Structure formats: structure tokens, C-alpha cells
Structure 1
Amino acid sequence: MTKNSSVLDNFRPLIVDVAVPLGSYYLLKGGFGTSTFAALAWSSVVPAVRTLWGLVRERRTNALAGLILVVNVVSLLLSFVSGDPRLMLAKDSGISSVVALGILVSVALGKPMMTAGMKPFLIKGDAAREAAWERLASGAAADSAAFRRKERAFSLVWGAVLLAECVARVVGAYTVPVDTMVWLGTVVLVGAFAVAFVVSGGLAVEPMGRMLTAEAQAQARIEAEGRKTGRSAVTVAA
């Protein structure tokens, strides 16, 4: 497997389950001028198929696809609500809060959802680092407990920050002038992403990166010693 194909494999769940439905929604609505309802309905096809495929073929739920499907269904129901500009401003925050809650629930269940987005950046398409990740995540390495705590912390930070952002925008929708909140909502969203990146990076990504490097190096030393011992044994036998 090449480095590029490895990175692509790691990104595939995010691309198929998140980027495709979200991208198709904005393309249909903004590019082709379809109604909000139609754009949401068509962009729900991929996550719906992925969710059903996981249930029927793999006997398990697809967390990312299922979450996007729930968000789209809620959006479809709320698209019938119109006429109140403040409610329309709050609607987007209410929908995105489903994503935040989904992330927090995934942490509570021991299957942190944000790992799919973090893993490729830490592995960097390197087979040794990917093997080190598997050992640390499975409990086979000395630092496994600490590694998994950091993995959960990463998703916890993102879920908490996104939920706080949703609450702030809902409050703003009903307390700040509508014209101001139209642009301020975007500022709040961008600020929340910046905070999440900085905090999760220092709290989880950096220490996990160091643990991956240490584990990969330790395994390389073990393998090198094994090869050296093997050669010595052959020499002695000869």
C-alpha cells in the first residue's frame, strides 16, 4: 500500500459520510438553485444508504453516516417552519447541536467519533505509525491507557466546544439584532473552531503524536534486535 492510498483510506469515512452529503447539499441549493427541502432530501441519500448497508451487511451502525442522516431529517422537518427570522437563525444552531451531542455520546460509549478525522494527520500515511496506533488503541502497548484517554479527550473537546457554540448562537439569535447576528453567527462559529483546534491540539493531538513516535521507535528497536539475534544464532550454528 502506498502512502497516498493509506491516507485516502483513512480519509474515506469522512469523505463519504460527511463531505459528500454536506457538499451535495450546498451544491444543489447554491449551485442549482433547488429548494432547501429538495437539497436536504437528495443529500440524505448517501448517509441513508450507508446506514442501512451497515445494519444489513455489517450488523453494526455507521456512526458518521447515521449522525448526518439524523441531522438531515431534523433539517427537513424544521424546513417547514418559516416566517420568524430569529427562529430561522436559531434553527441552524439547533441542527448543529445534534452533531455536538452525537460526538459527546460517542465518547461516553467509548467510540470517540472525531478519531476518524484526527487519525490520518497523526499517522501521515506511514505504515509503522499506523501499526503503532493499532497497538496503542488495542491495549497491547505500555502507553495504551494514556493514549485512549487522549483519544477520548480530543472528541470531548470538540463536542463541548461545538455545543457551547450552538448555545451561544441560539442565545444571540434571540438577544442580538437580527442584522448583527447574521454575520456574528459566522464569527462565533469560526472562533469556536479555532478554540477547538488549539485546545484539542495541545491536550490530545501533540501527546498522542509523541506516543505514536515512541511506540513506533520501540517496535523498530525490537525488530532490529530480533534480526540481529537471529543472525547471531545462525552464525553460531554454522
Structure 2
Amino acid sequence: MTKKTGTQAQNPSALDNFKPLLIDVAVPLGSYYVFKDAFGMSTFAALAWSSVVPAVRTGWSLARDRKVNGLAGLILVVNVVSLLLSFVSGDPRLMLAKDSGVSSTVAIGILVSVVLGKPMITAGMKPFLVKGDAAKEAAWERLASGAAAGSAAFRRKENVFSGIWGVVLLAECVARFVGAYTIPVDTMVWLGGVFMIVAMVIGFLVSGGLAAEPMERMLAAEVEAARAERAAMAVVA
């Protein structure tokens, strides 16, 4: 997304782009060891309390934006339900396995949205491609609405982008679930974060090369086509 200061639009810094990842991964991971080693909590209690931050963060985003976000809603529901189930069971491995439940639920939701022709990840991708440019924003709307010549190809790339992320998250889910019941808990706590980071890197690289970059080129071409059309109309006038 872009940040606006006065009348100028500024691209976000690297920290801004990775802040959600830092909050969702670094804070829960770091707090686990603080609760367990510094405060002497049990493994289960440390895991439970370290899961509160991402759950609260997701809920706050929904309350602040005052609109339903399919992806955020899925994460919130799965986090809250799995947290309650983990408290009831008292099983720290189930607490770890619930992370795979988040990934799998989100992944399935994304894949279903692709099948329905309403790719869920589009809303998150759009700001990075449009970059606050009004001409690109207008070009996006034309391509997405079917009003432009390249609309069909643009929509296919939208589906490809979301489809890739759905598959990547589903694979991460399987890795987390298997690890939760086969790897020591203390190891899996930090290894789960590694799984997420690796999945994110793969997702960005593959979806970027196969979908985001072609879509960015389509946006640029549509912007140029609109400019050419306006210039031609001005000459006629």
C-alpha cells in the first residue's frame, strides 16, 4: 500500500511491507520463550498466551476497518476456536497443530474463491501493483470489470495468483501438522515459524513470476492504451 503525507504519495518501506509477518511470527515466537523461560510457565500455557497477540490483532483489524475481509475472517475464527479447544484439551501438540488448521482453512477458502471466480488474494495484491497511481487504479478497474481488451488474460492471472497461494498454504499446513506430532514441541515452536517464512518466500517468488509481474505489464499497457485513446480523441476534437 501507499502512505500519503500531505499531497504526496510515498511507497511503503521494507519494514512496513514485512510488519504483518514480524507481528504474526516474531511476536508469538519470542513471547513463547519469554513466558516459558523467563516466567517459568508450562509449555501449554506459554503456547496459549503467545497465541493471543495474533488473534487480537486479527480482531482489531476487523473492528478498525469495519468491513468483512474473507481472509482475516477465516484466520480470526480458526484462531479463536482452536485456542479454546487447546485450553480444554491441555495438549501443547494440539496447540501447535492448530497453526496447520489456520493455514488449511485459509488455503481452502482461497482455492474455493478461485473456483467461484472471486480470487480472495486480489485485494491484498492490488496496492502493490497500483502503488497509489490513479492511472493504474483506473486501468485495474477496466481490466477487472471486463471493459478492456486484456480483461480475460488479466482475470486468469488473478486466479493464478490466488491459486498459487492456496496451494502453498495447503502445503505449509501439511508440514506443520506432521511436525506438530513428530517433532519435539520446543523445536516445532521455532520450526513452525520457519515453515511459514519459507512458504511466504516461495509464494512471493512463484506468484510474482507467474502472475504479479504479467499483471503489472498488463496494467502498464492498459495505461498507455488509455493515454493513446485520449490523445486521439483530443486530435479529433
The alignment covers a number of residue pairs equal to 209
Q: CA deviation at 1:44?
A: 6.3
Aligned to 1:137: 144
Q: CA deviation at 1:152?
A: 1.1
User: Take 1:127 and 1:162, find their aligned partners in 2: how far apart are those partners?
Assistant: 32
Aligned to 2:42: none
Q: CA deviation at 1:163?
A: 1.0
Aligned to 1:161: 168
- What TM-score does the superposition give when structure 1 sets the normalisation length? 0.73
Aligned to 1:111: 118
Q: Which one of the candidate residues 169, 175, 178 is aligned to 1:171? A: 178
Q: Which amino acid aligns with 2:151?
A: S
User: Take 2:56 and 2:196, find their aligned partners in 1: how far apart are those partners?
Assistant: 26
Q: CA deviation at 1:107?
A: 1.6
User: Take 1:126 and 1:41, find their aligned partners in 2: how far apart are those partners?
Assistant: 33
Q: CA deviation at 1:45?
A: 4.9
Q: What's the secondary structure of 2:161's corresponding residue?
A: helix
Q: CA deviation at 1:143?
A: 0.8
Q: Which one of the candidate residues 197, 201, 218 is aligned to 2:204? A: 197
Q: CA deviation at 1:172?
A: 1.6
178-187 or 123-132, larger mean C-alpha shift = 178-187
- Is it true that 1:215 corresponds to 2:222 in the alignment? yes
Aligned to 1:124: 131
Aligned to 1:4: 9
Q: Which amino acid aligns with 1:135?
A: R
Q: Which one of the candidate residues 153, 156, 163 is aligned to 1:146? A: 153
- Is it true that 1:86 corresponds to 2:93 in the alignment? yes
User: Take 1:90 and 1:168, find their aligned partners in 2: how far apart are those partners?
Assistant: 10
Residues 37 and 79 of structure 1 are in contact (CA less than 8 Å); yes or no, is this contact kept in structure 2?
no
Partner deviation per Cα, 1:168-221 (whole Å, 9 max, x = no partner): 111122223334333322222211111101100011001001111111101101
Change (3 A) 1:217 1:42: closer
- Is it true that 1:70 corresponds to 2:73 in the alignment? no
User: Take 2:216 and 2:56, find their aligned partners in 1: how far apart are those partners?
Assistant: 39
Q: Which amino acid aligns with 2:165?
A: W
Q: Which amino acid aligns with 1:4?
A: A
Change (3 A) 1:139 1:41: closer
Q: Which amino acid aligns with 2:171?
A: A
User: Take 1:120 and 1:47, find their aligned partners in 2: how far apart are those partners?
Assistant: 17
**Runs (5+) with no aligned partner, structure 2:** 13-19, 36-47
Residues 83 and 95 of structure 2 are in contact (CA less than 8 Å); yes or no, is this contact kept in structure 1?
no
**Runs (5+) with no aligned partner, structure 1:** 9-18, 55-60, 231-238
Change (3 A) 1:205 1:44: closer
User: Take 2:64 and 2:223, find their aligned partners in 1: how far apart are those partners?
Assistant: 34
- Is it true that 1:225 corresponds to 2:205 in the alignment? no
User: Take 1:214 and 1:208, find their aligned partners in 2: how far apart are those partners?
Assistant: 10
Aligned to 2:109: 102
Let me know the Cα RMSD of the aligned residues. Answer: 3.4
Q: CA deviation at 1:145?
A: 0.5
Partner deviation per Cα, 1:14-72 (whole Å, 9 max, x = no partner): xxxxx6xx77xx69x95xx8956876775565466579x65xxxxxx542443243234
